[in-house]
Amino acid sequence: MRKIGVFVCHCGSNIAATVDVKKVVELALQEQGVVHAEDYPYMCSEAGQVRIAEAIKENKLEGIVVCSCSPRMHEATFRKCAERNGLNPYLVEIANIREHCSWIHKDMAEATEKAVILMRAAVAKVHLNAPLQAGESAVTKRALVIGGGIAGIQTAIDIADAGYKVDIVEKEPSIGGRMSQLDKTFPTLDCSACILTPKMVEAAAHENITIHTWSEVEKVSGFVGNFTVDIRKKARYVDMDKCTGCGICQEKCPSKKPLNEFNRGLNTRSAIYTPFAQAIPNVPVIDANACIKLNTGKCGICEKFCQAGAIDYTQKDEIITEQYGAIVVATGFDTIKLDKYGEYAYNESKDVITSLELERIMNAAGPTKGHLERLSDGKAPKEIVFIQCVGSRCSDDRGKPYCSKICCMYTAKHAMLIRDKYPDTNVTVFYIDVRTPGKNFDEFYRRAVEDYGVNYVKGQVGKVAPQPDGSLMVHGVDLLENKQILKKADMVVLATAIEPNPDVRKIATMLTASIDTNNFLTEAHPKLRPVESPTAGVFLSGVCQGPKDIPETVAQAGAAAVKVIGLLAKDKLKTNPCTAKADELRCNGCSQCANVCPYGAISYETRQVNDHGIREDRRIAVVNSALCQGCGACTVTCPSGAMDLQGFSNRQIIAEVDAICR
Amino acid sequence: MKYSYFPGCTLRNKAKDLDDYARACAEKLGFSLEELTDWQCCGGVYPLGADEIASKLPSVRALNAAKKKGQDLVAVCSACYHVLKRVNDDMANVADIQTRANNYMQLDTPYTGETKVLHYLEVLWDVVGFDKLKEAVVNPLTGRKVGAYYGCLLLRPSSVMAFDDPENPTILEDFIRALGAEPVMYPYRNECCGGYISIKEQEKAAGLCKKITDSAEGFQADCLVTACPLCKYNLSKNSNLPIVYFTELLAEALGIKEAQE
């Protein structure tokens, strides 16, 4: 019989206010093998750990149970404490009497009863715990960043500066992301391209950074420190090494119909194109759907004009396989589709646009060369209405429940820029609330109101009605004056909600990284681990984790880089010894475990076994403990009960169940 | 295909066109409308009082009669369709109303919203199909510019009516196109005509109607089609733009109208 110690934590009043901790101690002492039990206000504190250490020594404890918070919180703390005092860390069990008990119950008698049961189950289990030894795995000192916007670029530069190799995978033909589409940035109004382009150049020129544009992550396997990633390099039909970026191909290309994605579809581009002048790499791609040569075999004009001989219509997609120690997701965002918002007439009128479209219109490289004009007739708008929260803070299923966070500020920016450049144009902003927390943000908004005379109206818009004369009648409400407003406008700009890039679901699935109901990637802890995914070795950068502006994105990108550097700085990682193992005498090699293993950790080998004196060759399941994540899917699938999870063996689980049912 | 049919009171006098053409066109298009016996007025408006039961009972009777015949219940008047569908939703989903209505009715089997309520347009769309309708047209309305006027009763509340996108509906436009005419898109096609407020505040209703008809005329509509007698009354009273029932347009395209006249 093992000598067991039980330690019951009060967690201040978190546990002790709902659970009678003295009673738990009293009943623990009646459990088989329990030779020591005590309670303490904060078991995780230095003083609490000293008490555990002393108890281990005095009573020669062979296993301990800590009744406290979730093992996610302090299992590591108590395991380390045990290890320092000569007890194998896997002989520590946590009974979660906080999250699973005191926090969710109100009645003290009931909560105490449950806490006692949880304690008993843990004691029953720890009697059967094996002293496991953590293995080691090497760390591949190279990071992958998925997404080449400002978040991905910043993360890559920071990792690369620390001396580690980084690859950026970007699905578009150029890095730059959303920020490259912006005209000016709040709250300083500096030109977006002017501050982004140097970063793009820095990333491209960095000796430690490799950029794969026009590429997508196809498959991810492995685990923290040892990821294997397949990257699809889509056929560019242009030889990256030969192309000089002269641009003659784009000028001469006769296929000019495809919508220009970079300009949000407001104008068209050629079939061979770079998305914008400062693109990195400055090598065009051929849009295979629009290219005449690729579709009909005729044309070939770009090839004729290319002095460098860089055009290659025979290129095929290529899959490259790389090894990484860490992966950063920086997949960014898009604006939501407005199909469900018929009242704003976005599909009916060319003069109802999204804010990102306005950003392109205001940009000197945009479809109107930076002139503010109506897309319907090219006239300068004299009356512009901005509508805030289109699809944000939405209580029905048309939009998103969250605040998109950036819209108040960029709308103030647009309003201010328009009033500055076109003083005879009136600007009205309909808002629910103006949210401007951030350094110099509220000052910025007030400048728009006080210095630039932007007309802010608290209230929402129910309808934008295109009129026969081409104007737009805006039906709104002024909640402060409690009256309906009818405003004739020449242009309406919708502050459209942002959502995670639609590709993020696919990527999260490949990485087994969790996402929330809005498709934002979930962080390991909302406050204390905001740039780490719960999946070890996966980190989050930028809007893929939640709405944020550029300063916040850059800050988070740096934080993610630090976490990656911390990981890559280690030569070895301790592996979790709680992995599956097959009993060779029971295994009949049926393959069912391999079929359910999500990590591809199970293979088979033919081995000679000695079954009660009979020697024979049998096909036996073998678990690669480096790949096994200890999920237990194989153990419940195995028809002959051969598969067992170390640390959570069938015997241990049954012992817990027996203790609960006692 | 046979349907139980709930014509509604207005269709017996003022809105006779809406009814007559609906029946004639149905026969031509291969489905028939069997008028419920002893149907009573739907009440005209859906009662908003949470404890209002008595005024919902005529709808429950009609719904239950259709259930007994094992038929879907078709209405052609927007208001009847609206009231029937919302009461049916209450009977299916609001336990209190369900219990009290059934206590009152003392049916052999309680009625719990089993009947499917359809608007005549939904039968054209889902059962006949606008492509088949197009083939049945003998007198295509080529060159006619017709504005669809939905009003509110067909569309809202959209969670219950589930008729079409309440902000950007298309079913009437598709219908107009199937008849060979050109649908005119104008922004106020789903705005309120004023409804019964025209009894109390003439001016208010006139203003609302003028906004609708001015906009339609501005976008070059020759006429508006509606499925609602009250909308037709309000709009006609306040504008010179011809307002016709959709069934009349349908009858014209199917070559039934002249025959009837």
Q: Nearest C-alpha of chain A: how many angstroms from B254?
A: 31
Whether residues A473 and B185 touch (CB distance < 8 A) is answered with no
Whether residues B187 and A341 touch (CB distance < 8 A) is answered with no
Task: Answer whether residue B168 is part of any domain.
Answer: yes
Q: Nearest C-alpha of chain B: how many angstroms from A432?
A: 21
| A contacts of B185 (beta carbons < 8 Å) | 348
Average pLDDT over residues A13-41: 97
Helix (H) or strand (E) holding A656: helix A650-661
- Reported in sequence order, the residue ranges of A43-161 that DSSP labels E, i.e. its strands, are 63-68, 92-96, 136-138, 142-146
Q: Following DSSP, what letter does each residue of A97-123 receive, concatenated?
A: -IIIIITT---HHHHHHHHHHHHHHHH
Same domain flag for B113 and B148: no
- Check if B165 contacts A (Cβ < 8 Å): yes
User: For the segment A121-149, what is each residue's pLDDT rounded down to a tens digit?
Assistant: 999 999 999 999 988 889 999 999 999 99
| A contacts of B188 (beta carbons < 8 Å) | 465
Name the residue of chain A whose CA is nearest to B170's CA.
A342
- State the CB neighbour count (10 A cutoff) for residue A316: 8
Enter the DSSP assignment of A245: -
Task: Answer whether residue A480 is part of any domain.
Answer: yes
How far are the Cα atoms of A147, A182, A271, A394, B154 from residue A501, in angstroms, in the given order? 10, 17, 24, 19, 36
| B contacts of A466 (beta carbons < 8 Å) | 187
Same domain flag for B110 and B134: no
Enter the DSSP assignment of A530: T
Average pLDDT over residues A89-105: 97
Chain A positions touching chain B (beta carbons under 8 Å): 340-343, 345, 347-348, 463-469, 473
Task: Answer whether residue A376 is part of any domain.
Answer: yes
What CATH number should be reported for the domain holding residue A119? 3.40.50.960
Same domain flag for A75 and A108: yes
User: For the segment A436-462, what is each residue's pLDDT rounded down to a tens digit?
Assistant: 999 999 999 999 999 999 999 999 999
User: For the segment A144-192, what is each residue's pLDDT rounded down to a tens digit?
Assistant: 999 999 999 999 999 999 999 999 999 999 999 999 999 999 999 999 9
The burial class, CB within 10 Å (0-12 / 13-18 / 19+), for A433 is exposed
Same domain flag for A153 and A222: yes
Average pLDDT over residues B54-77: 96
Domain hosting residue A182, numbered range: 142-234+317-332+501-568
**Which residue among A96, A126, A156 closes a domain?**
A126
The burial class, CB within 10 Å (0-12 / 13-18 / 19+), for A12 is exposed
Average pLDDT over residues A294-300: 94
How far are the Cα atoms of A18, A110, A621 from residue A106, in angstroms, in the given order? 7, 8, 48
What CATH number should be reported for the domain holding residue A620? 3.30.70.3270
Task: Answer whether residue A620 is part of any domain.
Answer: yes
Task: Answer whether residue A463 is part of any domain.
Answer: yes
Cis peptide before A547 (omega within 30 of 0): no
Q: How many Å apart are CA B147 and CA A393, to the nearest integer? A: 35
Same domain flag for B135 and B198: yes
Task: Answer whether residue A258 is part of any domain.
Answer: no
Q: How many Å apart are CA A447 and CA B237, to the nearest integer? A: 51
Task: Answer whether residue B125 is part of any domain.
Answer: no
Share of chain A above pLDDT 70, in %: 100
Q: Nearest C-alpha of chain A: how many angstroms from B167?
A: 5
Whether residues A466 and B165 touch (CB distance < 8 A) is answered with no
Pair A464, A474: CB distance under 8 Å: yes
Token pair for residue A538? 């996966």
pLDDT at A222: 86
Cis peptide before B157 (omega within 30 of 0): yes
Average pLDDT over residues B100-106: 94
**Which residue among A499, A514, A545 closes a domain?**
A499
Predicted confidence band at A341 (pLDDT cuts at 50, 70, 90)? very high
User: For the segment A203-243, what is each residue's pLDDT rounded down to a tens digit?
Assistant: 999 999 999 999 999 999 888 999 999 999 999 999 999 99
Give me the residue from A342, A464, A468 closest to B165, CB to CB.
A342
Pair A617, A606: CB distance under 8 Å: yes
**Which residue among B85, B120, B155 closes a domain?**
B120
Whether residues B168 and A463 touch (CB distance < 8 A) is answered with no
Domain count for chain A, please give it: 4
Q: Tokens 């980190």, residue?
A: A539
Q: Nearest C-alpha of chain B: how many angstroms from A458?
A: 23
- Check if B139 contacts A (Cβ < 8 Å): no
Same domain flag for A413 and A532: no
- Check if B162 contacts A (Cβ < 8 Å): no
Token pair for residue A554? 């850059």
pLDDT at A628: 86
What CATH number should be reported for the domain holding residue B86? 1.20.1050.140
Same domain flag for A154 and A196: yes
Cis peptide before A187 (omega within 30 of 0): yes
Same domain flag for B113 and B9: yes
Same domain flag for A382 and A327: no
How many CB pairs lie under 8 A apart between chains A and B?
28
Domain hosting residue B92, numbered range: 2-120
Same domain flag for B92 and B136: no
Enter the DSSP assignment of A207: T
Same domain flag for A531 and A473: no
The per-residue pLDDT of chain B, averaged, comes to 94
Domain count for chain B, please give it: 2
Whether residues A342 and B167 touch (CB distance < 8 A) is answered with yes
Give me the residue from A341, A345, A347 closest to B187, CB to CB.
A345
What CATH number should be reported for the domain holding residue A528? 3.50.50.60
DSSP, collapsed to helix, strand or coil, labels residue A564 as helix
* pLDDT greater than 80 at residue A346: yes
Q: Which of A347, A461, A473 to mutate to probe the B interface, most B CBs <10 Å?
A: A473
Same domain flag for B102 and B165: no
Task: Answer whether residue A369 is part of any domain.
Answer: yes
Whether residues B167 and A466 touch (CB distance < 8 A) is answered with no
Predicted confidence band at A624 (pLDDT cuts at 50, 70, 90)? confident
Name the residue of chain A whose CA is nearest to B216's CA.
A468
Whether residues A348 and B218 touch (CB distance < 8 A) is answered with no
Which contacts (CB < 8 Å, 24+ apart) does range A508-515 have?
A508/A329, A510/A217, A510/A219, A510/A220, A511/A220, A511/A327, A511/A329, A511/A535, A511/A538, A512/A598, A513/A329, A513/A538
pLDDT at B260: 63
pLDDT at A604: 93
Whether residues A343 and B167 touch (CB distance < 8 A) is answered with yes
Query: Which residues, including other chains, have CB under 8 Å from residue A328's CB and lie 6 or more apart?
Result: A143, A144, A145, A146, A152, A155, A538, A539, A540, A541, A560, A561, A564
Same domain flag for B63 and B23: yes
Predicted confidence band at B12 (pLDDT cuts at 50, 70, 90)? confident
Name the residue of chain B whose CA is nearest to A469's CA.
B218
Share of chain A above pLDDT 90, in %: 92
Same domain flag for B36 and B106: yes
Same domain flag for A615 and A626: yes
* pLDDT greater than 90 at residue A611: no
User: For the segment B17-46, what is each residue's pLDDT rounded down to a tens digit?
Assistant: 899 999 999 999 999 999 999 999 998 899
Predicted confidence band at A68 (pLDDT cuts at 50, 70, 90)? very high
Same domain flag for B104 and B145: no
Same domain flag for A369 and A494: yes
* pLDDT greater than 80 at residue A621: yes
Same domain flag for B225 and B200: yes
Which of A158, A183, A187, A163 shows the shortest CA–CA distance to A330?
Answer: A158
- Check if B188 contacts A (Cβ < 8 Å): yes
Same domain flag for A505 and A553: yes
| B contacts of A467 (beta carbons < 8 Å) | 187, 215, 218
**DSSP bridge pairs for B92:** none
Average pLDDT over residues B116-136: 96
Q: How many Å apart are CA A145 and CA A167, to the nearest integer? A: 6
Same domain flag for A13 and A106: yes
Task: Answer whether residue A287 is part of any domain.
Answer: no
- Check if B27 contacts A (Cβ < 8 Å): no
Q: Nearest C-alpha of chain A: how many angstroms from B38?
A: 41
| B contacts of A463 (beta carbons < 8 Å) | 187, 191
- Check if B130 contacts A (Cβ < 8 Å): no
**Which residue among B66, B90, B120 closes a domain?**
B120
Predicted confidence band at B257 (pLDDT cuts at 50, 70, 90)? confident
* pLDDT greater than 70 at residue A65: yes
Same domain flag for B137 and B253: yes
Task: Answer whether residue A41 is part of any domain.
Answer: yes
| B contacts of A489 (beta carbons < 8 Å) | none
| A contacts of B168 (beta carbons < 8 Å) | 342-343, 347
Same domain flag for A324 and A471: no
Pair B88, B75: CB distance under 8 Å: no
Same domain flag for B252 and B153: yes
pLDDT at B261: 60
**Which residue among B120, B146, B164 closes a domain?**
B120
User: For the segment A10-23, what is each residue's pLDDT rounded down to a tens digit?
Assistant: 999 999 999 999 99
Q: How many Å apart are CA A241 and CA A183, to the nearest integer? A: 31
* pLDDT greater than 90 at residue B185: yes
What CATH number should be reported for the domain holding residue B213? 3.40.50.11810
Task: Answer whether residue B228 is part of any domain.
Answer: yes
The per-residue pLDDT of chain A, averaged, comes to 95
The burial class, CB within 10 Å (0-12 / 13-18 / 19+), for A327 is buried
**Which residue among A499, A522, A555 closes a domain?**
A499
pLDDT at B13: 87
Average pLDDT over residues A515-522: 95
Q: Which of A338, A339, A343, A461 to mutate to probe the B interface, most B CBs <10 Å?
A: A343
Same domain flag for A530 and A495: no
